[in-house]
Amino acid sequence: MLITITNTAHEATDLGFLLHKNPANLHSADLAFGKAYVFYSSATAQRCTACLLLELDPVELVRGAGRLEDYVNDRPYVASSYLTVAMGRIFGTALAGNCQKRPELVDVKLPLEVTVEVIRARGGADILRRLFEPLGYEVDVMPIPLDEKFPEWGEGHYFRLALKARVTVHDALSHMYVLLPALDEEKHYYIGDAEVDKLLRHGEGWLGKHPDRQLIIQRYLKRRSSLVDQAMARLLDEENAAVEAVESKTEQAAVAEKDLERPMTLHTQRLNLVATKLKALEAKTILDLGCGEGKLLRRLLADREPNWPSNSVAGLAAFLPARKSKQSERDQDSNASFHVCSRFDFIPLIHSSCRTEMPVAFRNFRDQKRTIMPPLATTLCWVLEDSATLRFGLPDKKS
């Protein structure tokens, strides 16, 4: 059995990079049921044709056979699951969409011509067009008579298939990998849950959009209802997830647009004014005391100059709890120290890109009886020449 892939684009020999097969060499691989060869019938800058030839071992085919049809059949000649296994072995890297030497070529759509010399298609030429034309291929089908010496026998289910399309090599191989056994409707190996995984993996991006996806799945899985239902359910789940993702992006865009149309609050105007002033001063290091949620810091980081270091913006949030009842001085100081220390434990704050350890030293507040700093109700911005070390603590009794 023989399948060819031809690239007619400029620098056509780039096909060798995508298939990971040098056009100057003959490549071969031993398989459990025969031997596969890859060679190039032509390799010029204008046209490059790679050929995959599979020779089946007739002894392996009849090992353990007990019926006449096991000895006389079309398996050595038609494109079938034997050919797709060989493709997975020979072109496995290309099927996975990888190209180590020229990765930029993977997503490039090329003018490709794919020819399958003999393919069996129950349903005739119509089924070939139904499966390939929705994928963008020009389909040329030539029927093959059962026997040229006996034309009265008529035509069978065998065709020569020629396809043309502007498509990536990865997609072309994926289409062949799924559709050839679906057309043949035979598998030489056991079909289980792993076959569903394989189908969805190689059908990713196109199978769910195909108008005859159910027919493809049924024929690929040999109409085993449990596997077909499993594949369809997983395919629908993926579609629903994709639809939800699109809807989520649409909603986010709508919310963002609504936010843009919303009038600017006075607080936002103040933040913008402070950020503009700091930018005009060419500040290199900024400390925001009483930063709260860090709105100003986020505003500064959004417009950070390229020459600012990653830890040039930092903020601290501090507060004292409101006391609604009278307490002793010791309880008041103890309560205050607890809140301040627990609040300061969140240093360093605001932004993941500048989350660095700032050297901060604490003193024990519990034995102090003096009132510590008042709540920072307003935002203070310190513009520092150099980075600073911050030390927090209560003043001693003599001060």
Structure tokens, 325: 């009842």
Per-residue model confidence (pLDDT) at position 65: 66
Residue 254 has pLDDT above 80, yes or no: no
- Kindly report the CATH number assigned to the domain that includes residue 174: 3.30.1610.20
Task: Looking at the structure, tell me whether residues 183 and 307 fall in a common domain.
Answer: no
Q: Are 49 and 6 in contact (CB under 8 A)?
A: yes
- Beta partners for residue 141, in sequence order: 161
Q: Are 165 and 137 in contact (CB under 8 A)?
A: yes
Confidence of residue 298 (pLDDT cuts 50, 70, 90): confident
Angle formed by the axes of helices 169-184 and 213-220, nearest 10°: 60
Angle formed by the axes of helices 124-132 and 213-220, nearest 10°: 110
Per-residue model confidence (pLDDT) at position 304: 67
Following CA atoms 320, 322, 328, 332 in sequence, which dihedral angle do they give, to the nearest 10 degrees? Answer: -10
Give the residue from 174, 189, 204 where a domain finishes: 189
Q: Is residue 253 part of a domain?
A: no
Query: Which helix (DSSP H) or strand (DSSP E) does residue 180 occupy?
Result: helix 169-184
pLDDT digits (tens, 9 = 90+) for 145-182: 888 888 888 778 899 999 999 999 999 999 999 999 99
- In this prediction, residues 98-104 reach a mean pLDDT of 90
Q: What percentage of the chain carries pLDDT values higher than 90?
A: 37
CA–CA dist 396, 399 (Å, integer): 6
CA–CA dist 51, 16 (Å, integer): 11
- In this prediction, residues 269-288 reach a mean pLDDT of 80
Task: Looking at the structure, tell me whether residues 183 and 273 fall in a common domain.
Answer: no
Task: Looking at the structure, tell me whether residues 291 and 163 fall in a common domain.
Answer: no
Query: Which helix (DSSP H) or strand (DSSP E) does residue 383 occupy?
Result: strand 380-384
Q: Is residue 256 part of a domain?
A: no
Task: Looking at the structure, tell me whether residues 152 and 286 fall in a common domain.
Answer: no
Q: Is residue 229 part of a domain?
A: no
Q: Is residue 97 part of a domain?
A: yes
Give the residue from 154, 189, 224 where a domain finishes: 189
Q: Is residue 171 part of a domain?
A: yes
Give the residue from 121, 156, 189 where a domain finishes: 189
The secondary structure of 186-201 as a DSSP string is --SS--SHHHHHHHHH
Residue 195 has pLDDT above 80, yes or no: yes
Token match 């062949």: residue? 176
- In this prediction, residues 19-30 reach a mean pLDDT of 93
Q: Is residue 212 part of a domain?
A: no
CA–CA dist 102, 174 (Å, integer): 20
Task: Looking at the structure, tell me whether residues 25 and 174 fall in a common domain.
Answer: yes
Q: Is 215 strand, coil or helix?
A: helix
Domain residue limits at 344: 267-391
Per-residue model confidence (pLDDT) at position 394: 37
Residue 332 has pLDDT above 90, yes or no: no
Q: Is 290 strand, coil or helix?
A: coil
pLDDT digits (tens, 9 = 90+) for 338-387: 333 333 333 333 333 333 333 333 333 344 433 333 333 333 333 333 33
Confidence of residue 391 (pLDDT cuts 50, 70, 90): very low
Structure tokens, 282: 């060419």
Left (φ > 0), alpha (ψ -120 to 50) or beta: where does 290 sit?
A: left
Q: Is residue 261 part of a domain?
A: no
Q: Are 378 and 342 in contact (CB under 8 A)?
A: no
Per-residue model confidence (pLDDT) at position 308: 58
Per-residue model confidence (pLDDT) at position 242: 60
Residue 318 has pLDDT above 80, yes or no: no
Q: Is residue 202 part of a domain?
A: no
Token match 């032509």: residue? 42
Tell me the average pLDDT of the chain.
Answer: 75
Top mean-pLDDT range of 125-139, 241-255, 343-357: 125-139
The tally of domains found in the chain comes to: 2
Give the type of residue at 23.
P
Per-residue model confidence (pLDDT) at position 174: 95
